[in-house]
């Protein structure tokens, strides 16, 4: 297994995660754990998942995003999914997936605005 390390960065009062284009399942599940640990450590207002380079968002990935946003909510934070590509938005919708309670933003800038940390 070569797990790609994805960094969870604290910017202002939020966690910012840039997801790589084609993460495998173990990378995604490792990321979930890293995010929750960073939530505990930094106590931020919320989480921004920058998925602007993600080319394939399938049901496993979607489920993990929804789960993570629920876990982040339990810890008192909000999750914003930023920068979904048009092709990915079309495919996710036609696949029948929903993003649960996670909110979306066109890009990271707007996500920062939504979390009022601009």
Partner 1 sequence: MSDNQQGEVRIDSEVDIVTVRKAVREIAQQIGFGATDITRIVTSASELARNVFNYAGVGAMHWNRLKQNGSIGIELIFIDNGPGIPDIEQALTPGYSTMKSLGMGLSGAKRLMGEMEIESAPGKVTKVKIRKWIGRY
Residue 62 binds partner 1 (CB under 8 A) = yes
Q: Binding to partner 1 by residue 70, rule CB under 8 A?
A: no
2/20 Cα distance (integer angstroms):
14
Q: Does 22 bind partner 1 (CB under 8 A)?
A: yes
Query: How many residues make contact with partner 1 (CB under 8 A)?
Result: 25
* Torsion angles phi and psi, residue 46, rounded to 5: -175, -170
Rounded CA separation 74/68 (Å)? 10
Least separation in angstroms between residue 53's CB and partner 1 is 13
User: Is residue 100 left, alpha or beta, with left meaning phi > 0 and alpha meaning psi from -120 to 50?
Assistant: left
Contact positions toward partner 1, by CB under 8 A? 1-2, 22-26, 55-60, 62-63, 85-88, 90-91, 94-97
């Amino acid at each position: 297994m070569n797990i790609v390390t994805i960094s969870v960065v604290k910017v202002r009062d939020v966690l910012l995660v840039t997801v790589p284009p084609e993460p495998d399942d173990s990378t995604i599940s490792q990321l979930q754990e890293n995010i929750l640990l960073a939530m505990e450590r930094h106590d931020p207002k919320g989480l921004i998942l920058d998925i602007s380079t993600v080319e394939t968002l399938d049901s496993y990935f979607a489920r993990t995003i929804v789960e993570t946003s629920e876990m982040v909510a339990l810890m008192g934070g909000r999750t914003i999914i930023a920068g979904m590509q048009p092709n990915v938005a079309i495919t996710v919708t036609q696949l029948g997936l929903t993003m649960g309670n996670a909110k979306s933003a066109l890009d990271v800038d707007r996500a920062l605005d939504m979390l009022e940390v601009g």
